[in-house]
Structures are given as structure tokens and as C-alpha cells.
């Protein structure tokens, strides 16, 4: 039987059970920015990001939560309509319509909807699809180095590099001088579902060879980080 002395505890228990629950809000597709919130120091609010395959200024964005914290950077997508959306919603950023690869060439760009997630310049990725593209057009590829060198961030190190290039991710990663820009965190898409396969992949081996370690894995996104930086909440 409850007595008067039990009331404070019961009220505390009710509060802890129902009232203090809160949603862990995130904008990115698989919670990547929730992982970033745990990795990045809450006092670091003036970082620089580069988002390749940025898709949308808010929905499924790995950088929008950081934008709200005061970060700024470059958003890149090869679909003009997506860059128009960034110019509308994130005009403080540098928004670039470009197809990124490790070499300059003419490539075919495949789009599978008017504003879709799966636009690609990777032929194997397009061939894997069971539906037909709504458009196929020629694009001139450029490198991340060229985009950065022609931006206001040409002399800055990068705090976050996010790559979602639908099967062309390794080529995008190789298109930046990683020793010059030294991104502190790299998020890169991978469709591999086994940690053993991931550890054998070109992306993993390349980043580990450049002193990165795998810090997170959220479904299709691998999150790598350098060991030492004031950016991080905790040093490993």
C-alpha cells in the first residue's frame, strides 16, 4: 500500500517515464547527423563542410543540422533543380551544379525521377536498376579540387566531407587532395553489408592509409574521422 512518503518518488517516476522523453530529431536519411552530433563538440559552431550529391537542402541532408548551428560550406549536385532548391533555402552556402569525378571527361548522367535520390554517372549503377531512366544527358565532369580552388574555401581545411554519388563515391573521394584539405570527418556511401567486405574495399583502405578510422556505420553510410582535432567531443 502506498503512503504519503511514496508520492515524491511516484511523481518522479511518472516524469521520467512519460514527460522527459524526447524525440532524437535528425534530418539525414539514416541518422548520420545524429552520429555527428555525438562526435562533434557542441562548442564547435563555425565548421566548413563539402556535401557532394547533396540532393536536398533539408530532407535527407547530412549537413542541414550543422548549417543550423552556424556551419557553412559547399553543396554540390549535378541536377540543376536541386541546386536551385539549395540557393533558395541555403543561400549562405556556396551551391554548385557539377558532376564530380576523379577526371575531367564527358559522361552520361542518368536520372530516374524529376527530383530523385538516384541520379548517377556510374554506368554500372544505372544498369543495376530495374526501372528505366526518365532522362539521360551528357555532363562534363570536374574534380573536387577544381571546385574548391575556385571557391572561398580554397585555403581552408575541411571539417566534414560528405559523399553520396550513387556508385561513383570512390572516384569522388580520389578527386580531392586529401592531404591539403584534410577533412576531419568523411561520410561516404557504401552498399556493402558486411564489415569484412567494407574492410577490403577501396574506400576503406584508402582512408585508413591516410590515417582515418571508421567511427560509425549507419546502413549505407560509413563515417570516418581523423584522430586529433578540436572539432571532436571526445579524443580517441
- Reduced to 3 states (helix: H, G, I; strand: E, B; else coil), residue 69 is helix
Q: Indicate whether 12 pLDDT > 50.
A: yes
Number of domains comprising the chain: 1
CATH of the domain at 105: 3.40.50.150
- Residues 15-64 have pLDDT tens digits of 656 666 656 578 999 999 999 999 999 999 999 999 999 999 999 999 99
Helix, coil or strand: residue 214: strand
Residue 147 domain-assigned (yes or no):
yes
Q: Is residue 50 situated within a structural domain?
A: yes
Rounded Cα gap, residues 119 and 125, in angstroms? 9
Q: Report d(CA 133, CA 171) in Å as an integer.
A: 22
In a domain, 233, yes or no: no
What residues make up the domain containing 114?
Answer: 26-225
C-alpha to C-alpha distance for 102 and 165, rounded to whole angstroms: 12
Sheet holding 94-97, edge to edge: 94-97, 72-77, 48-52, 160-163, 185-189, 221-225, 213-218
In angstroms, the CA 192 to CA 183 distance is 23
Query: What confidence category does residue 229 fall into, taking pLDDT thresholds of 50, 70 and 90?
Result: confident
Task: Give the pLDDT of residue 4.
Answer: 46
Residue 207 exposed, middle or buried by CB count within 10 Å (0-12, 13-18, 19+): buried
Give the number of other Cβ atoms within 10 Å of residue 58's Cβ. Answer: 14
Question: In DSSP terms, which residues pair with 49 in a beta bridge?
Answer: 73, 160
- pLDDT tens column, 173-195: 999 999 999 999 999 999 999 99
Could you tell me if residue 12 is left (phi over 0), alpha (psi between -120 and 50 degrees) or otherwise beta?
alpha
Q: Whole-angstrom Cα distance, residue 21 to residue 17?
A: 7
Asked, for residue 18, whether it belongs to a domain, the answer is no
Look up the pTM and report it.
0.88
31 located within any domain: yes
Looking at residue 236, its pLDDT comes to 59
Longest CA–CA span in the chain (Å) reads 79
Q: Is residue 231 part of a domain?
A: no
8 found inside a domain: no
Average pLDDT (71-76) is 98
User: Tens of pLDDT along 129-163?
Assistant: 888 898 999 999 999 999 999 999 999 999 999 99
Sign, Cα dihedral of 201, 203, 206, 210: negative
Q: Is residue 230 part of a domain?
A: no
Amino acid at each position: 500500500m502506498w503512503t504519503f512518503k511514496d508520492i515524491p518518488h511516484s511523481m518522479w517516476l511518472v516524469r521520467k517515464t512519460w514527460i522527459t522523453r524526447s524525440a532524437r530529431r535528425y534530418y539525414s536519411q539514416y541518422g548520420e547527423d545524429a552520429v555527428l552530433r555525438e562526435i562533434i563538440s557542441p562548442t564547435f559552431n563555425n565548421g566548413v563542410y563539402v556535401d557532394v550529391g547533396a540532393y536536398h537542402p533539408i530532407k535527407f541532408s547530412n549537413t542541414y543540422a550543422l548549417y543550423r548551428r552556424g556551419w557553412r560550406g559547399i553543396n554540390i549536385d549535378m541536377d540543376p533543380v536541386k541546386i536551385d532548391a539549395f540557393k533558395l533555402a541555403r543561400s549562405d552556402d556556396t551551391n554548385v551544379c557539377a558532376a564530380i569525378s576523379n577526371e575531367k571527361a564527358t559522361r552520361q548522367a542518368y536520372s530516374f525521377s524529376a527530383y530523385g535520390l538516384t541520379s548517377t554517372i556510374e554506368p554500372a549503377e544505372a544498369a543495376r536498376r530495374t526501372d528505366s531512366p526518365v532522362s539521360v544527358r551528357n555532363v562534363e565532369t570536374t574534380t573536387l579540387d577544381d571546385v574548391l580552388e575556385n571557391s572561398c574555401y580554397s585555403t581552408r581545411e575541411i571539417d566534414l566531407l560528405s559523399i553520396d554519388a550513387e556508385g561513383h563515391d570512390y572516384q569522388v573521394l580520389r578527386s580531392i587532395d586529401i592531404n591539403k584539405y584534410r577533412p576531419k570527418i568523411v561520410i561516404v556511401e557504401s552498399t556493402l553489408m558486411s564489415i569484412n567486405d567494407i574492410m577490403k574495399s577501396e574506400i576503406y583502405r584508402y582512408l585508413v592509409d591516410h590515417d582515418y578510422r571508421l567511427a560509425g556505420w549507419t546502413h549505407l553510410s560509413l563515417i570516418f574521422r581523423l584522430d586529433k582535432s578540436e572539432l571532436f567531443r571526445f579524443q580517441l
